Amino acid sequence: MSFFRLKDLIRAVRVCKTAADERGVIRRESAAIRTSFREVESQDARYVNVQKLLYIYLLGFPVQFGQLECLKLAASARFSDKRVGYLGATLLLDERQDILTLLTNSLKNDMHSEDDYIVGLALSALSCVASAEVANDLVDEVGRLLDAPRSYLRKKAALAAVRIVRREPELAGAFVKRTQALLADRHHGVRLAAAGLLTELCAYDPDALDEARRLVPAVARQLQGLVVAEPAPEHSVGGIGDPFLQVALLRLLRTAARGSQAAADELNDVLTLVATHVDGARNVGMAVLYECAMTALAVPSEPPLRVLAINLLGRLLADPDNNARYVALATLSAAVITEAPSVQRHRATVIRCMRDDDPSIRRRAIDLSFALIGPDSAKPIVDQILRVLPDADPELRPSIVHRLAAAITLFADSRDWHVERMLRVLSLAGAHLAARDLFKFVRLVAADAPEPLQRRAARCSFALLERDLSQDAMVVAGTWLIGEYADLLIAASDESAVPGPGPEPEPDLPPPGPGLDADGLDILGAIGAPAPEPAPEPAAESAADRARAAAIGLDEPLPEATPEPERIVRLLAAIARSPATSPTAQRMALTALAKVAGRFADRPALVAAIRETYARHVGSIDAEAQARAVEFDRLLSRSLDGVRAAVVERMPAPEYAEVPYEEYVLNPTAMRMKALTVIRRPALQPEDLAAAAGPTSPGPAPQPTKQSVVSDLLNLMDEAPPAPPQPQHSTGADSLADLLGTTSLSPPATSPAPDSATTTPAAAAAAASPDLDKEYEAYRKNGIRVTLTPSKKPRLPAVVDLLATFYNEGEAAMSGLNFLVAVPKSQKIQIHPPSGQHISVGASVTQLLRVSNPTRSALRLRMKIVFTADGQTHEDMLDFGGLPPSIV
């Protein structure tokens, strides 16, 4: 059954009570339309059927069978048929379909029509579906129509030219010379399309960029006229003269003046005029001011103008509209690198946005807050972030915690503040703290803290663990501190008083270098550049802020406890048997009990209670916990009284050592780092192992790190997938790693300890081949630059590691980065996950590629890169063989 008319079909769909009824109606009508296409050749029937197909398409049902009928209608001589045919072609076809080539002849014929409206239909269809082949075929017709006598056609031709340039950049030169006349057109629609066309041309053709810079004074005068002159009624929107054209001209000026001081000098007066004369009370005015601020920040403008631009974004940040605040936060995050003092003035507003109801605004505000952290603003901003941390979105907490640890480490002015704030981070979100940050905190207390601070850290940890055992990193760190400093935990001393706020740094604590913390990490790349000038303090806190601060205890010192030894044993025993704690924490609790037994060996009842705890773990299903229980119970026997004190004595501070990048896999939540350091296990002697935790048996082998192994890259080289890497078993452990059990504090692949008198393996490899550890540019297009840095390990001569670095040199942030690589059949490749898929402007991310080359043949890579920037998806494929033969 067919409903014959479009209105009848619409009525039948509307009366359906269920989705099943609607699908039935659409199915029957689609079958009737197919039958009509096969049996009826009437143009009128085809016209009605295509209309109904477009309605069915809008409902979300497949209608691809009507594509050819749309082309038949487009080839008709009647205007009404062409209108429906071209509309159907733009909706049902895309540039990837071969059938599109059948439309080329109709488009070409209609562009020579005497009816301007038919020409307009063809240009509109070309603007929507033109592929590279169609663009090459019709570029001459579009260029001719740019000089058409009617402004209606010139506007549509300019829009079609934009599509042609995007699909075939080599054709950009055909339109450069015509843009000056189009920009001088009296019709606003033509000028708007011309501004968009010239902006697009500048991205592909250097001659177009030179032409745009030459036209900067004329474009600036046009913009000035729109701002100052009384707008015509047909161009006035909210009292502002043609804001759409103003935005287009500002974008063109931003593109032309970027990197040109002479062109930027021409813009200072007009940008100041726009910023001071446009009314931002309405959304339309705020859009113009936003583009003005973006232009002032993108070009080498005068400092007062850049400050004015930041203030405009500050006004946008205070707007009640969520969209306005979001774009302001995003822009300020990009501008804070160069305009940190000006952005600092809006810190109070940014902090308020961290508690906004919109999750996207909260995310942006938190990122900007970290970028605002500097030597003078670290303490208040860290405290504000701590206040929102308990209520932060779960997917954001790992990133927030990692950056908090980095900020506290870099900008701490005293060890007391450093330790106290890290304990708060551990207690609030210890479940999300990375193992490396946890290790750094433990090392700080063990190596750099004086005894009074060690005592306070242990007492605070004990009090926090008695309250809550749900934060795993807090349990691990607190258990280690209790075990190591059990004697200080119960000792009474006047030195345990809480120090006053803001003490001067101790003389023996060297300040970190510019941009680096004490361990050599580039923290500034993760949390932004510090402000060179002090910033004003945030506004007075609201009642809700004070209540939140009271709930997490920020306004009060951390709780401390001076427990008795029996109370310590009860807490550690509870940690060892609690199902809520991780196996790592349980094993550490067993080790800490042995430490406590050694500190209080003169209390037989206490030692007996500890041995009872070990007896409950002798039958544990965890092999490591079972082994520790048996061995520590044996250690507490009378026969080992002579060696027990040496075995459980306080451990020395763990050490760091720099190793090459390939020795570990980046934590997925880690920030971008330029100087990479990891924990390396030193070679230990048997007595060191005994001092660490007694003669323990080897624990279970660590699980191999999950990696993304891509070998065939969509069958680019018909490569078979390589075998997964075999897990590597650890053969030794240093003092802290033994206490922590099998944790992720160690790199996934063990490496031999470097000789004290020789260079590291990576340095030896680099010395053997001067072409190693150098950056080789592999790709540079669409605002992204990709370099490859080769390196090798002496023990794996057939394996070449390539560190791919992606630099964002464009104007907008990039997201959705996907990088695939294929190699010839004689080689195998492993692709590690990238350090991130979002690249801010001026930033970079890295990705490790490991190539197995047993035949020592030349490295040939076929690479595919996909990313999204400024709302447009870029996809490119290339072959690269620029690596020197010496690296294989």
Boundary-marking domain end, from 651, 677, 693: 651
Are 883 and 809 members of one domain?
Answer: yes
**Structurally, how many domains does the chain consist of?**
5
Instruction: Tell me, yes or no, whether 692 lies in a domain.
Output: yes
Structure token pair of residue 709: 């192994």
Instruction: Tell me, yes or no, whether 352 lies in a domain.
Output: no
Are 82 and 229 members of one domain?
Answer: no
Element (H, E) at 865: strand 861-869
Are 34 and 154 members of one domain?
Answer: no
Instruction: Tell me, yes or no, whether 826 lies in a domain.
Output: yes
Boundary-marking domain end, from 271, 301, 331: 301
- For residue 137, what are the domain limits? 97-208
pLDDT, residue 761, reads 44
**Residues 346-373: what's their mean pLDDT?**
90
> pLDDT tens for residues 843-866?
888 998 888 888 888 888 999 999
pLDDT, residue 544, reads 52
Q: Kindly list the strands in the beta sheet with 872-880, ordered across the sheet, starting from the edge strand earlier in the chain.
A: 814-822, 861-869, 872-880
**Residues 671-675: what's their mean pLDDT?**
27
> How far from 301 is each of 260, 304, 308, 346, CA to CA, in Å?
10, 8, 11, 21
DSSP code string of 74-135: HTSSSHHHHHHHHHHHHHH--TT-GGGGGGHHHHHHHHT-S-HHHHHHHHHHHHHH--HHHH
Are 774 and 676 members of one domain?
Answer: yes
Boundary-marking domain end, from 92, 115, 130: 92
Instruction: Tell me, yes or no, whether 18 lies in a domain.
Output: yes
DSSP code string of 644-666: HHHHTSPPPPP--B---GGGS--
| Gap between the Cα atoms of 810 and 815, Å rounded | 12
> pLDDT tens for residues 720-758?
333 444 444 333 333 333 333 333 333 333 333 333 333
pLDDT of residue 501 exceeding 50: no
Are 785 and 822 members of one domain?
Answer: yes
| Gap between the Cα atoms of 429 and 420, Å rounded | 14
In contact, 831 and 801? CB cutoff 8 Å:
no
Are 660 and 706 members of one domain?
Answer: yes
pLDDT of residue 187 exceeding 80: yes
| Gap between the Cα atoms of 196 and 245, Å rounded | 10
pLDDT of residue 504 exceeding 80: no
Instruction: Tell me, yes or no, whether 377 lies in a domain.
Output: no
| Gap between the Cα atoms of 573 and 567, Å rounded | 10
**Residues 15-31: what's their mean pLDDT?**
93
pLDDT, residue 749, reads 37
Q: What is the mean pLDDT of the chain?
A: 79
Are 718 and 856 members of one domain?
Answer: yes
DSSP structural state of residue 811: S
**Residues 441-454: what's their mean pLDDT?**
88
Q: What is the CATH number of the domain that holds 874?
A: 2.60.40.1230
Structure token pair of residue 751: 């490496």
Instruction: Tell me, yes or no, whether 483 lies in a domain.
Output: no
pLDDT, residue 708, reads 34
In contact, 717 and 823? CB cutoff 8 Å:
yes
| Gap between the Cα atoms of 89 and 324, Å rounded | 36
> How far from 623 is each of 439, 620, 633, 654, 676, CA to CA, in Å?
24, 7, 15, 26, 34
Instruction: Tell me, yes or no, whether 798 lies in a domain.
Output: yes
Angle between helices 206-214 and 243-257 (to 10 degrees): 120
Are 219 and 201 members of one domain?
Answer: no
> pLDDT tens for residues 34-45?
999 888 888 888
Are 143 and 162 members of one domain?
Answer: yes
> pLDDT tens for residues 788-825?
999 888 777 888 889 999 999 888 888 889 888 988 88
Each as own residue / partner, the long-range contacts of residues 256-260 (CB below 8 Å, 24 or more positions apart, any chain) are 256/202, 256/209, 256/212, 256/213, 256/215, 256/216, 256/219, 257/213, 257/216, 257/295, 257/298, 257/299, 257/300, 258/298, 258/299, 258/811, 259/300, 260/213, 260/299, 260/300
pLDDT of residue 518 exceeding 70: no
Are 580 and 725 members of one domain?
Answer: no
Banded model confidence at residue 546, pLDDT cuts 50, 70, 90 = low
> pLDDT tens for residues 78-135?
999 999 999 999 999 888 888 888 899 999 999 999 999 999 999 999 999 889 999 9
pLDDT, residue 770, reads 65
Instruction: Tell me, yes or no, whether 1 lies in a domain.
Output: yes
pLDDT of residue 619 exceeding 50: yes
pTM of the model: 0.62
Are 78 and 224 members of one domain?
Answer: no
- The single-letter code of the amino acid at 774 is K
Are 589 and 725 members of one domain?
Answer: no
Element (H, E) at 3: none
What is the percentage of the chain residues whose pLDDT exceeds 90? 40
| Gap between the Cα atoms of 227 and 727, Å rounded | 68
